[in-house]
Chains A and B, each alone.
Chain A
Amino acid sequence: MDAPPDFALDRNDAVPRLVGRHEDFLVVAGLAGAARDLTWLSDDAPHVFALAGAMGAATAMGLGLALARPDRRVLVVTGDGELLMNVGTLATAAVVNPPNLAIVCVDNGHYGETGFQKSHTSLGVDLEQMAIGAGIRTTRSINRTDQIPEASRLIREGNGTSFVLMRVQPNESAPHKRDLDPTTEKLRFRSALIDGQEG
């Protein structure tokens, strides 16, 4: 689990700092670490839909949600492995470019869920450069705590799709046991959002 020095942030500190008030967003969280980060941070709040399968779908789901709800800010929080599995979605998000979508990749350079095998981002792949190449105009790479406030403003105030690559140490996410049933999550999310109990 040795990481190059640029994978420097502690995700259990940095993700909460970056996201801030999670209630300000509708959230789609990728698998494994990112899903645990956000369900832990929000204490399983209904405005967080966390995947535990369909790996590679998080960004596309965030895009569909952002188009359906232009009145809300939509945040995708995912990992390097999940994003790499469908990295072309960065191109789709860039082309559609909804003003209310932000994508955060918590990049630990590893597949944490399956035994911390190195991912491509430990081996030279730079997902911010891929986002730039895909056409996303507002991007940041951060790996120091003092860079977090500016990135945090960006995901809240951007007027087009934004992308933040957050390089973190390959540590475990906060231990958090969450409900893995997608139907329950879906009904809860829609009930809170559409029945007007939230937002």
Chain B
Amino acid sequence: MSDRTITGVERGEPRAGAAWPEEIYRVLREFEVTQFAYVPDAGHKVLIDLSLADPAVHSVPLTTEEEGVGLLAGAHLGGGRGVLLMQSSGVGNCINFLSLAKGGQFPFLMLVSMRGDFGEGNPWQIPMGQAVSPVLEAMGVICIRAEESHAAAATVRAAATMVFQSGQAVAVLLTQRLIGAKPF
């Protein structure tokens, strides 16, 4: 076992000083998103921390990602807006609840930090990571990939427009090209 310190990037956190997580947060607030539901992931660390520090929003830790689908549906019933932050492994937990998206035409915005794709070093992450787009699309969720840091906020803006103006369910996949691949 190595005695060197594991870096944040190796935990899947955005590179220090990366501007895109804060830019994404600003876009979400611009769209009046006030419910930030999450199962923690290193790729969402900055977004989660910003929501926790923001007295104008509710930051909701979930025990399983599917709760977030229900939460956001309830928010929509009341005229509120939310976003679900999760890792790709959590997508599988959401599938039946996404009946609300496909059958009930509820708008949904989810940001999925990817594992199991570009450069993945943990074989356990590969099956669900590779299944993210097919299973989401099967449940009526449009998937948009964000590959580059300079385009991340614009991608979230595009997704939020499709969700909150066009009433769609959209997942932005924050890929491992963007957030970095875990080497372990």
Contact = CB atoms under 8 A, between A and B. Distances in A.
B35 A64 contact: yes
Interface in A17-63: 26, 28, 49, 53-63
Interface string B6-26: 000000000000000000000
A96 B58 contact: yes
Given A55-B96, A67-B75, A92-B62, A60 B67 contact: yes
B99 A54 contact: yes
Given A57-B100, A65-B75, A190-B77, A92 B63 contact: yes
A60 B96 contact: no
A55 to B, nearest CB: 7
Interface string B77-113: 1111010000000000000110110011110000000
Interface in A78-109: 86, 88-89, 91-92, 95-96
Interface residues of B, number: 32
B79 A190 contact: yes
Interface in A125-179: none
A14 interface: no
B64 interface: yes
Given A60-B71, A61-B77, A96 B106 contact: no
A197 interface: no
A183 interface: yes
Query: A86, A185, A194 — which one has the most chain B CB atoms within 10 A of its CB?
Result: A86
A49 B58 contact: no
B78 A54 contact: no
A64 B76 CA distance: 8
Say whether chain A's binding surface is mostly helix, strand, loop, or mixed: helix
A182 B63 contact: no
B99 A186 contact: no
Contacts of B70: 54, 56-61, 63-64, 86, 89
A56 B94 CA distance: 11
Contacts of A72: 78
A193 interface: yes
B69 interface: yes
Contacts of B140: none
A26 B78 CA distance: 9
Given A49-B77, A92-B63, A57 B97 contact: yes
Given A28-B74, A67-B78, A92-B62, 11 more contacts: A54-B99, A57-B100, A60-B69, A60-B74, A61-B74, A62-B74, A67-B35, A67-B75, A68-B78, A72-B78, A95-B61
Interface of A: 26, 28, 49, 53-69, 72, 86, 88-89, 91-92, 95-96, 182-183, 185-186, 189-190, 193-194
15 contacts: A26-B77, A53-B99, A53-B103, A54-B69, A54-B99, A58-B70, A64-B73, A65-B74, A67-B80, A88-B63, A92-B60, A92-B61, A92-B62, A96-B60, A182-B103
Interface of B: 34-35, 58, 60-64, 66-80, 82, 96-97, 99-100, 103-106
